[in-house]
Amino acid sequence: MCGLAILSYKNPSVRTFNGSELVYDISGVRRPSRKLTIEGNSPTTEITKRYSSNCHQNMDSSAYYPAAMPEMRGTNSKKHIKCGVNDKSSDRLYPLPEHISPFISPMKNQLLHIIKSKATKSPGLPKMSQLKLAILDDYQNISPPHFAHLASRISISHFPETLDPRDETQRALLIERLKPFDAILAMRERTPFSKETLSALPNLKLLLTTGTRNLALDVEYCASREIPVAGTAGRPAGIHSTVQHTWALILGLARHVARDDAAIKRGEWQGSLGMTLVGKTLGLLGLGKLGSQVGRIAVLAFDMKVTAWSANLTQEKADEQAAALGLPAGTFRVVKEKAKFFREADVVSLHNVLSERSRGIVGAAELGVMKSTAILVNTSRGPLVDERALLETLNAGRIRGAALDVFEPEPLPKDSLWRTTAWGRDGRSEVLLSPHTGYADEQIHGWYDEAAENLVRWLEGEELKTRLN
């Protein structure tokens, strides 16, 4: 006779009996065994595998159960795998990764034995499903090569089209799309994950993102469900693509690069004059790491004056930022009055973190006091600016123009006024747009490599890098 058991690990199953050997499947990797004993006593569960040869040779290091982990003795609240050969001295106890252990259902007062038997064959049972990973919002289709080496271990799906959960219809589609997945990789803040959305994803066990923080993820709720959240460290401080992109927008708008390019391709020639930056005033709304680096370029490359404003900014703090960049005290002049800051600036560049306090920090009042020759640049977050007030200002031609890399919502709807309005004509201001690419350069390859590494670490029960909760 022969015993057969199916364990509650998704649908792990005994596969077939082949002569005196049992071939079973517990992670998509087939391994031979002569005896498999499963014991369950809540709150701990032990799985003992006895092999006809050394356990380390039979356990595949790519399986969900790590074969090369420090020896442990005894039991605790964690679940374990115990494996070895008949020689008692070779028995070892290995910790079972915490994200895998919930799949193993504790079976009180049950002891299951599958014992070597005579050649009796059993029909093959369905192979267990792999762990599922969803990679979201990879607009440029960059990620596949970075995860190709994991294709035999996990099932990977790519969803480049963003669904915005703030829209009820799209939220329902997003939840339906992601329900089957055990792990999700988000690209920055393109898809927000609130408590309401996360609570509708019962299979979720790991949430990865790119960058060192993501304010669009409810990390506290994830912690309450014991869902680890991890980001990516990225490049060293001091080299930041957003600084470069900010200056691309400032120069592009000041010199009419996009407009003149289109005119030449229509067969036209010179039709406007560029804006001189030398000696002008750059106003930085926010003087953190990014803002101060943008200011440094203004001073050193264009001999501009640099002013700064934010709610709690002091001259002492501004001087500290300057000193950190090798600039003398007073390089960044703090303007205490917000209205005065907007009145004086020829270029206003936004570098604030989005919060409830900073939402709409640039509104009709601030736009109303700007110079008619001034430009507004936003590479931070769309909701920092009152969109309706900005559209009214630009439609009326009250300022020279705006250069925007960020919007609300994103991606922009096809019928957005930003897309459909004939900017720069009939008295309207100039508008230069980019599709939130301030951070999107070669560093994204590194982000995906780090995310793939974190996924492997999670599968093997190791500590995640850049943990966010």
Other CB atoms closer than 10 Å to residue 184's CB: what's the count?
24
Task: Give the count of domains, the chain.
Answer: 3
pTM of the entire structure? 0.68
Q: Within a domain: residue 465? A: no
In this predicted structure, the answer to whether residue 54 has a pLDDT above a threshold of 50 is: no
Do residue 158 and residue 271 come from a single domain?
no
Sign, CA dihedral 66-68-70-75, equals positive
Q: Is residue 188 included in any domain, yes or no?
A: yes
Per residue in 345-367, pLDDT (tens digit) is 999 999 999 999 999 999 999 99
pLDDT tens profile 151-190: 999 999 999 999 999 899 999 999 999 999 999 999 999 9
Specify burial of residue 109 (Cβ count, 10 A radius: 0-12, 13-18, 19+).
exposed
- Whichever domain contains 333, its CATH number is 3.40.50.720
- Does pLDDT of 412 surpass 60? yes
Same domain (yes/no): 252, 399: yes
The domain boundary residue, chosen from 114, 140, 161: 114
272 pLDDT band (50/70/90 cuts)?
Answer: confident
Domain finish residue from 62, 81, 114? 114
- Considering the domain boundaries, does residue 466 fall inside one? no
Q: Tell me which residue range forms the domain holding 52.
A: 13-114
Strands ordered across the beta sheet of 332-334: 332-334, 305-309, 281-285, 347-350, 375-378, 401-404, 430-433
Same domain, 90 and 45: yes
Inside any domain, residue 236: no
Residues 109 and 153 in one domain: no
Q: Note whether residue 80 is domain-resident.
A: yes
Domain boundary residue among 62, 83, 114? 114
**Domain shared by 286 and 422, yes or no:** yes
Of the candidates 441, 442, 401, the residue with the CA atom closest to the CA atom of residue 249: 401
Q: Helices 289-302 and 315-324, interaxial angle, to 10°?
A: 70
The sign one gets for the Cα dihedral 403, 407, 410, 415 is: negative
Which stretches within 43-133 are classed as H helix? Answer: 55-58
Give the C-alpha distances (Å, rounded to integers) separating 420 from 374, 414, 417: 23, 8, 5
Residue with tokens 């600084």: 243
Catalytic residue ranges: 381, 410, 436
Residue 128 has pLDDT above 80, yes or no: no
Taking the C-alpha atoms of residue 214 and residue 211, their distance in angstroms, rounded to an integer, is 7
101 lies in the same domain as 217: no
Assess whether 93 and 178 both reside in one domain.
no
Residues recorded for the chain = 469
Instruction: Give the pLDDT confidence of 302-336 residue by residue, as tens digits.
Output: 999 999 999 999 999 999 999 999 999 999 999 99
The answer as to whether 143 is a domain residue is: yes
Whether residue 227 sits in one domain with residue 170 = yes
Residues 91 and 210 in one domain: no
Check residue 95 and give its pLDDT. Answer: 43
